[in-house]
Amino acid sequence: MRRWLPIALAAAATHPARADGVVEELSAGTASGSRWVSNQLAGMWDVDPAWQLRLDLSATRAGGSATGETYIGSLSAVFSPDPHWSLRFNGGWSPEVASDVTVQVPIGGGVNPDAQLHATASWVVLGAGVDYSSASSDMHSVSASLAVGETYFRTHQEVVGVQDWTSPGSGKLSAADAVLRCQTVMCAPNVSGMLLPQMAELGQFALNASITDTVDGDTDLSLGASYYLYGDDPGRPGYFALSTLAAGTRASATSAPLLRAGLAPSVTHRWGALSTTLGLAYTRNASRREFDASAALSIQYGIALTAPRRLMLDARLEADAHGYTTDRPTPAGSAALGMQYIW
């Protein structure tokens, strides 16, 4: 699910293990008629006993109803002065990426004709957070984190054609002709703005918090929550590209969703070298009319090599549903394989 916002930063925001290492993950999925494949590579470096740096790079190619290539980079630093507290700082960037997407335009009266949208988007993000761990060997060990982040989006959209909704089967209208048609046939507010070329900038402020209770050292019960604020109304026409691409393109810079709030419980259990995680997530978009729900199952197996080297193998399956409060959700899914080598 596109809590990969962005995928590299989601990984960098977690408290990493204290070790040098490299991580690679290959993933693929489908959503709303689009297909994507992604490769993420990360490196971790212990600068000294208190500081660790992590660099994440990812590349994604999408096809089907949404096409385009996306590249994301992020850098994070973690400062751990003692076993209990850690401070982390992260930044990320995605160069401008172009996508061609088939979307639906809400004309009104339940009419939503298909439109071809050409859009470009880029973003930059800065964030900071604090982590706490009780570092206890008792039956219950508690850890918690609090993080804030600011994302700056820049996007340009242009509708290149719209299905003629007044005469089904008669072909497509240009964006200009569709605007003229809206002057003779009543359209919903803001539709004309969506059909005209738009350039927009938007700031998004994110607040994320999580808490984990480790029971008997082998079971983690976790709960994460997030809330988002914006420097402008994210529902205005210029942001149609961002909000639409959010629903149609997974694991890309332009799929950074315009969210309002999210909740994500999970449980992890370890059997020696084998561990499994079951996670659920629910997010509501800024429009309050769209939502995402997902369930993910992850399996990890550790292989001990010559000390202190070790190899971790990962596999993940995820099922998603994206929908509107008045419509049936659209299913989506993804799968990933990854490895982590620590030395």
Rg of the chain in Å (alpha carbons): 22
Give, as one character, the DSSP assignment of residue 66. E
The answer to whether 286 and 260 have CB atoms below 8 angstroms apart is: yes
Which residues 6+ apart lie within 8 Å of 245 measured at CB? 66, 99, 101, 119, 121, 252, 254, 255
Over the chain (343 residues), the average pLDDT of each successive run of 10 is 37 53 92 81 93 92 76 93 94 84 78 83 91 86 95 85 82 87 81 80 91 94 94 66 44 53 95 96 81 92 90 94 74 92 92
The answer to whether 100 and 117 have CB atoms below 8 angstroms apart is yes
| Beta-bridge partner residues of 59 | 39, 71
Residue with tokens 């419980």: 265
- Spatial contact of 300 and 274, defined as CB atoms under 8 Å apart: yes
Among positive and negative, which fits the CA dihedral 60, 57, 265, 226? Answer: negative
Element (DSSP H or E) covering residue 40: strand 34-46
pTM over 0.85: no
The pLDDT value recorded for residue 299 is 97
Residue found under tokens 């009104």: 108
What pLDDT, on the 0 to 100 scale, is given for residue 325?
Answer: 64
- Cα(first)–Cα(last) distance of the chain, in Å? 31
DSSP for residue 204: E
Q: Which helix (H) or strand (E) holds 192?
A: helix 191-195
How confident is the model at residue 36, as a pLDDT?
83
**Other beta carbons within 10 Å of 212:** 18
Residue spans of alpha helices (H) in 74-174? none
- Are residues 13 and 127 in contact, defined by beta-carbon separation less than 8 angstroms? yes
Q: DSSP H helical segments within 199-290, as ranges?
A: 240-248
